[in-house]
Amino acid sequence: MDRVGDIALFLQVLEHGSISAAARHLDLSVAVASQRLKRLERELGVRLLHRTTRRLHPTPEGLALAREGRPLVEELALLGDRLRQRGGEVAGTLRVTAPASFGRQYIAPLMAGFLARHPGLRVSLDLDDRVVDLIGAGYDLAIRIGRLDDSSLVSRQLAANERVLCAAPDYLRRRGEPAGPGELASHDCLLLTGRDGGREVWRLTGPDGAPLEVRVRGRFESNYGEVLREAALAGLGIALHSLWHVHRDLEEGRLRVVLPGFPPPPSGIHAVMPGRTLVPPRVRAFIEHLAGHFADPPWGRAADLSRPGPGHGWGRLRASR
Q: Note whether 178 and 247 are same-domain residues.
A: yes
Determine, yes or no, domain membership for 309: no
From the CB of residue 229, how many other CB atoms can be counted at a distance below 10 Å? Answer: 22
Determine, yes or no, domain membership for 100: yes
Residue 234 reports pLDDT greater than 90: yes
pLDDT, one tens digit per residue, over 174-218 is: 999 999 999 999 999 999 987 555 568 999 999 988 999 999 999
Q: Note whether 8 and 153 are same-domain residues.
A: no
Confidence bin at 151 (pLDDT 50/70/90)? low
Confidence bin at 313 (pLDDT 50/70/90)? very low
Last residue within a domain, chosen from 39, 56, 86: 86
List the alpha helices (DSSP H) in the chain: 2-16, 19-26, 30-44, 60-86, 100-102, 111-117, 169-175, 225-233, 243-251, 281-294
Q: Note whether 48 and 102 are same-domain residues.
A: no
Q: Note whether 109 and 41 are same-domain residues.
A: no
Exposed e or buried b per residue across 68-82, where buried means at least 16 C-beta atoms within 10 angstroms of its C-beta: ebeeebeeeeeeeee
Last residue within a domain, chosen from 215, 249, 265: 265
Determine, yes or no, domain membership for 168: yes
Determine, yes or no, domain membership for 305: no
Q: Note whether 246 and 110 are same-domain residues.
A: no
Q: Note whether 261 and 212 are same-domain residues.
A: yes
- The confidence score (pLDDT) of residue 165 equals 96
Determine, yes or no, domain membership for 178: yes
pTM of the model: 0.67
Q: Note whether 258 and 174 are same-domain residues.
A: yes
Residue 215 near residue 205, CB atoms below 8 Å: no
* Measured distance CA(7)–CA(70) in Å, rounded: 8
Question: Could you give the angle at the alpha carbon of 101 between the alpha carbons of 140 and 288, nearest 5°?
Answer: 40
Residue 142 reports pLDDT greater than 90: yes
Q: Note whether 108 and 15 are same-domain residues.
A: no
What percent of the chain stands above pLDDT 90?
47
Q: Note whether 49 and 98 are same-domain residues.
A: no
Last residue within a domain, chosen from 25, 56, 86: 86
Residue 137 near residue 269, CB atoms below 8 Å: no
Output the domain CATH number for residue 7. Answer: 1.10.10.10
The total number of residues shown for the chain amounts to 321
Output the domain CATH number for residue 103. Answer: 3.40.190.10
pLDDT, one tens digit per residue, over 105-132 is: 999 999 999 999 999 899 999 998 888 8
Q: Note whether 253 and 281 are same-domain residues.
A: no
Confidence bin at 317 (pLDDT 50/70/90)? very low
DSSP secondary structure, 93-125, as one string: EEEEEE-HHHIIIIIGGGHHHHHHH-TTEEEEE
Q: Note whether 148 and 108 are same-domain residues.
A: yes
> 63: domain range?
2-86
Which range, 24-33, 38-47, 178-187, has the best average confidence (pLDDT)? 178-187
Determine, yes or no, domain membership for 319: no
**CA R_g for the chain:** 31
Residue 316 near residue 252, CB atoms below 8 Å: no
Average pLDDT along the chain: 85
| Consecutive H or E run containing 167 | strand 163-167
